[in-house]
């Protein structure tokens, strides 16, 4: 019996949270009755094909769709022809741009559409307009998956009926983080002495991730623990601004901005504390990964993070934007090694129990089964 084909469509700006979700999902689907195919929309002005590179390196079928402008008719036809030529059974999208092109590419075609909705980051007038358009487009989908209850509420607020929405928590392959790593070798790559403390975070370098807050907290921490280094892994428009901020705070010698890191498990292995100072989030993959790596966590109380972080049980929570509380909580874990170890162990257990990539994939497959075996029209 031939496998049902699921096209995972994403207009990518790098390899961040949404890309990581896709990577985890397709890796699990590959051994099931469903065949995942990754479709990357490559934007002419800002080309990123890291997701395609991941697919090629992991034996997953993939294709690149060229996009030459804000409305590219050739792209619509290209996606449409690919769907028909390859007998795609379901198209699953990730983000407003893939939503837009998938709707047009499947117009008058009997191909179910699923949208996986990550948080709408409304940081500019243009992006706010896209988010507003996306709310309209989502009405055309057969099923919508929210990655958190907060995202689901936004979708409901847009007037989309509850019966079309499912909430599926992100999940990860915990096994990747259980290996032994050569910490001496990894620290050497970053010129960090074995005797120094390392605090870090992973994520896109953009305003909503709260990295400026972390740098202000770092200034306070370094005064008390001068042999501390801070790693902020990821890429984005704020890289130069973060460098300037660190120089202004006179902590530039303590800050490491390595850009995109391929070996996240290796990087996490050298951290003493993982910090997530975000101003807005869904259920961040970076946090799941840090907890899977048994790292004590300090995170902002936003999105679905409180589902993972129970204060004084699985980590520490601070209010978003609160520099003093962030610094105080980090110092608390640096001072209380036993408490930090206990929180890390408890955090690891909750990831294994509730947030595995296998569990996530199983929930998506239930939706695929429903759409392919049901004549129910959810758009009515």
The answer to whether the beta carbons of residues 173 and 24 sit under 8 Å apart is yes
- List the chain domain ranges: 4-171+357-372, 175-354
Mean of the pLDDT values across residues 314-330?
98
Look over the chain and give the mean of its residue pLDDT values, rounded to a whole number.
93
Nearby residues of 74 by Cβ (< 8 Å), 6 or more positions away: 66, 68
How confident is residue 380, by pLDDT bands cut at 50, 70 and 90? very low
- In this prediction, residue 132 carries a pLDDT of 78
- In this prediction, residue 377 carries a pLDDT of 45
> pLDDT tens across 190-203, in order?
999 999 999 999 99
Cα distance between residue 135 and residue 229, in whole Å? 42
Cα distance between residue 235 and residue 336, in whole Å? 32
Write down the CATH number for the domain with range 175-354.
3.40.50.2000
Q: Pick the residue with more confidence: 137 or 9?
A: 9
Decide if pLDDT at 378 tops 50.
no
- In this prediction, residue 127 carries a pLDDT of 65
Q: Pick the residue with more confidence: 374 or 354?
A: 354
Determine what percent of the chain is predicted with pLDDT higher than 70: 96
The answer to whether the beta carbons of residues 6 and 32 sit under 8 Å apart is no
Class of domain 4-171+357-372: alpha beta
- In this prediction, residue 363 carries a pLDDT of 96
- In this prediction, residue 148 carries a pLDDT of 86
Same fold, 4-171+357-372 and 175-354: yes
What is the CA 210 to chain-centroid distance, rounded? 15
Mean of the pLDDT values across residues 31-58?
94
Decide if pLDDT at 376 tops 50.
no
Instruction: Please tell me the total number of residues recorded for the chain in this structure.
Output: 380
The answer to whether the beta carbons of residues 101 and 71 sit under 8 Å apart is no
- In this prediction, residue 133 carries a pLDDT of 81
> pLDDT tens across 111-165, in order?
999 999 987 665 567 667 777 788 888 999 999 999 988 889 989 998 999 999 9
Decide if pLDDT at 1 tops 80.
no
Nearby residues of 83 by Cβ (< 8 Å), 6 or more positions away: 7, 91, 105, 106, 109, 111
Mean of the pLDDT values across residues 326-347?
97
Q: For the packed helices 323-335 and 211-224, what is the interaxial angle rounded to 10 degrees?
A: 50
> pLDDT tens across 265-284, in order?
999 999 999 999 999 888 89
- pTM metric for this prediction: 0.81
Decide if pLDDT at 379 tops 50.
no
Cα distance between residue 58 and residue 38, in whole Å? 12
> pLDDT tens across 211-227, in order?
999 999 999 999 999 99
Q: Which of 280, 278, 200, 208 is nearest to 237 (CA)?
A: 208
> pLDDT tens across 72-124, in order?
999 999 999 999 999 999 999 999 899 999 999 999 999 999 999 987 665 56
- In this prediction, residue 262 carries a pLDDT of 86
- In this prediction, residue 2 carries a pLDDT of 87
């Amino acid at each position: 019996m031939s496998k049902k084909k699921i096209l995972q469509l994403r207009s990518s700006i790098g390899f961040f949270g949404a890309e990581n979700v896709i990577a985890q999902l397709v890796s699990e689907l590959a051994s099931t009755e469903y065949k995942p195919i990754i479709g990357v929309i490559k934007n002419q002005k800002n080309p990123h094909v890291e997701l395609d590179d991941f697919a090629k390196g992991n034996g997953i079928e993939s294709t690149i769709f060229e996009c030459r402008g804000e409305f590219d008719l050739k792209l619509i036809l290209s996606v449409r022809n690919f769907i028909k030529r390859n007998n795609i059974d379901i198209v699953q999208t990730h983000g407003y741009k893939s939503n837009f092109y998938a709707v047009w590419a499947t117009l008058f075609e009997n191909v179910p559409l699923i949208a996986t909705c990550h948080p709408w980051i409304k940081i500019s007038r243009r992006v706010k307009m896209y988010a507003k358009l996306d709310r309209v487009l989502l009405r055309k989908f057969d099923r919508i998956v929210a990655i958190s209850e907060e995202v689901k509420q936004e979708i409901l607020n847009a007037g989309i009926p509850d019966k079309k929405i499912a909430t599926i928590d992100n999940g990860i392959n915990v096994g990747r983080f259980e290996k032994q790593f050569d910490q001496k070798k990894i620290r050497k790559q970053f010129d960090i002495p074995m005797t120094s403390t390392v605090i870090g975070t992973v994520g896109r370098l953009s305003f909503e991730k709260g990295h400026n807050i972390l740098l202000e907290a770092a200034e306070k921490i370094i005064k008390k623990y001068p042999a501390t280094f801070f790693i902020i892994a990821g890429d984005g428009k704020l890289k130069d601004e973060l460098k300037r901020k660190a120089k202004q705070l006179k902590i530039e010698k303590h800050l490491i901005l390595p850009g995109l890191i391929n070996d996240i498990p290796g990087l996490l292995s050298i951290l003493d504390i993982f910090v997530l100072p975000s101003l807005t989030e869904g259920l961040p993959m970076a946090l799941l990964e840090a907890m899977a790596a048994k790292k004590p966590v300090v995170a902002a109380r936003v999105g679905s993070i409180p589902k993972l972080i129970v204060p004084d049980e699985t980590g520490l929570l601070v209010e978003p934007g609160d520099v003093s509380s962030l610094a105080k909580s980090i110092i608390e874990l640096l001072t209380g090694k036993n408490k930090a170890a206990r929180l890390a162990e408890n955090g690891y257990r909750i990831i294994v129990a509730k947030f595995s990539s296998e569990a996530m994939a199983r929930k998506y497959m239930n939706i695929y089964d429903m759409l392919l075996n049901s004549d129910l029209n959810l758009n009515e």
